[in-house]
Structure 1
Amino acid sequence: MPDTLPELVDSHCHLDFPDFEGERAEIVARAVAAGVRRMVTICTRLRNADAVRAIAEAHAPVFWAAGTHPMSAAEEPLATVEALEALARHPKFVGIGETGLDYHYTAESKAVQQESLRIHIEAARRTGLPLIIHARDADDDMARILTEEHRAGAYPCVMHCFSSGAALAEAALGLGFYLSMSGIAAFPKSRELRAIFAAAPLERILVETDSPYLAPPPHRGRRNEPAYTAHTARVGAEVFGVSEAEFAAATTANFDRLFGKAKAWAEAA
């Protein structure tokens, strides 16, 4: 591997999804070869936690997080703070979620989504691990709940795959949270989203794939994978007017600051 290859982190992917069945070792290897030295695979239904944990245990560069995705909140048993705290005892468990609000397809379950979100926030508060937020078509409620809960007790947080409006970005940044840039930011028509990122401090930006979804150009429309973090990072460097190496270094440092447990594990390994 070239020494000059910038080190990147894919802060959000879904390696347990069937899209990757039978290929996970090769996918992790391709990511590492592309400079993605660490990745966080996200469990979206707590009943799948054992399978997601096993992936992190099997691959040194992979860490994991778990929560109940808002689109599944009405179908799954309500999470408990105690259950999330128990998962957090695993040495490679580094985040709470993804959780959040999604009113695009599942607005009818908004009440249980909000209840689930507040449970996950309390787990993040108690464990000190970052909350991983999914937000879609719910900007006002999201900003309100995150702010109310932060006033009740601070907690760290990343707005994963950020594609919401400027007001929610400002609210999140005002609370000390991070915004994560996915392949959506690299789509040609995402000019307004890139402007929102450009207005944010670089020290609050992460990069992710959300694979197998949202592949950036030149892979758009096909299965995404952690190796493609590099394509989104290239666009991110352009957005912030820095070199690819500088963007990679900044977002990796940001990940280490927010996901301190992952940094500590990697340093001790």
Structure 2
Amino acid sequence: MELIDSHCHLDDYEDLPDVLRRAKEAGVGTLLAIGIGDGPETMHRALEIANASDGGGPEIWASVGIHPQEAAHATPEALAKLAALAEEPRCVAVGEIGLDYYHVDNPDVPTQQAAFVAQMSVAAALGKPILIHCRTSELAKPEAKERFGEADAWEDLLALIAEHWTPHGLPGVMHCFSGTVEQGRRSLEAGFYLSFAGNLTYPRSVSIREAAAMAPADCILVETDAPFLAPIPHRGQRNEPALVTHTAAALAELRGISSEEVARLTSENFNRLFRLASLR
């Protein structure tokens, strides 16, 4: 059974045809292209790629969103553009959106939170899932810790989700899940799937592996976050969708099942989450 890469940035590749060919050859049959671009001005690029896919390579779906690093640009005009793009059939989610207290030059906490809430509102109105980016300041450089202080991205994120998302009864994805088992459980309780990326294969990612072993079989996904976070044995190189096979193999080993079973489970989960049977 073919694998699905549930999160990749296809508009970052100048050699996209070759990237897609290698994905298909590796048995990766479906991709979710993340539509954040370089900011709201270019967040349409992933959807353009999905709409232009001709069936010769992997099936491509898209999302659209304003990354928390770009939260200062979540203007009424940008949100209107997001809403219009999100209505298109091949756009199946809003994201990646969320909070990022890791980089010192990121927008301040109120600005990030306002952009996050506004985009949850757009997604809820359209009935589409959200894809969450969450990065805390815990491991950031000292200047970022000083700027964001005691603010905890996970606690803030889960509180905002409880207030502005959970009441709608809609699902979502914790993209590149990098939290603790407890944060994973709280995410699952809020109706989110946990998506595991290449950092699952890194030796120091103990808590991520614990969460991957804990998560229910019907709530797991695999992704690359390509071109970032290449899995071992390609760590430090450019990532691409074909390499999701390594993350799937690591997940299979952690859960004591075959790679084929991981492919089956994660594909079924992806198709159910994004209701693709009604869109194909």
TM norm. shorter chain > 0.5: yes
Alignment of 1:204 onto 2:222: no
Partner of 1:3: none
Residue 239 of structure 2, aligned match among 193, 208, 224: 224
- Is the alpha carbon distance of 1:134 and 1:79 closer, same or farther for their aligned partners in structure 2, counting shifts above 3 Å? farther
Partner of 2:131: 132
Q: How many angstroms does 1:88 deviate by?
A: 2.0
Cα distance in 2 between the residues matched to 1:98 and 1:237: 26
Partner of 2:208: 193
Where do 5+ consecutive residues of structure 1 fail to align? 1-5
Residue 32 of structure 1, aligned match among 10, 24, 28: 24
Equivalent residues of 1:79, 1:119 under 8 A apart: no
Instruction: Give the stretch that moved more between structures: 95-104 or 59-68.
Output: 59-68
Alignment of 1:9 onto 2:1: no
Where do 5+ consecutive residues of structure 2 fail to align? 137-152
DSSP 3-state at the match of 2:132? strand
DSSP 3-state at the match of 1:135? strand
Partner of 2:119: 120
Deviation sequence 1:138-157 (CA, Å, 0-9, x none): 11101111112235422211
DSSP 3-state at the match of 1:16? helix
State the one-letter code of the partner of 1:115. A
- TM-score in terms of structure 2 length: 0.86
Cα distance in 2 between the residues matched to 1:223 and 1:79: 34
Equivalent residues of 2:40, 2:78 under 8 A apart: no
Cα distance in 1 between the residues matched to 2:76 and 2:212: 33
Cα distance in 1 between the residues matched to 2:52 and 2:93: 18
State the one-letter code of the partner of 1:52. A
State the one-letter code of the partner of 1:46. P
State the one-letter code of the partner of 2:157. M
Partner of 2:147: none
Alignment of 1:57 onto 2:55: no
DSSP 3-state at the match of 2:4? strand
Deviation sequence 1:93-141 (CA, Å, 0-9, x none): 1110110000011565211111111111112212121100000111110
DSSP 3-state at the match of 1:147? helix
Equivalent residues of 1:124, 1:155 under 8 A apart: no
Count of aligned pairs between the two proteins: 257
Partner of 2:255: 240
Residue 43 of structure 1, aligned match among 10, 35, 48: 35
Alignment of 1:160 onto 2:175: yes
- Is the alpha carbon distance of 1:108 and 1:69 closer, same or farther for their aligned partners in structure 2, counting shifts above 3 Å? closer
- Is the alpha carbon distance of 1:129 and 1:151 closer, same or farther for their aligned partners in structure 2, counting shifts above 3 Å? closer
% of aligned pairs identical?
39
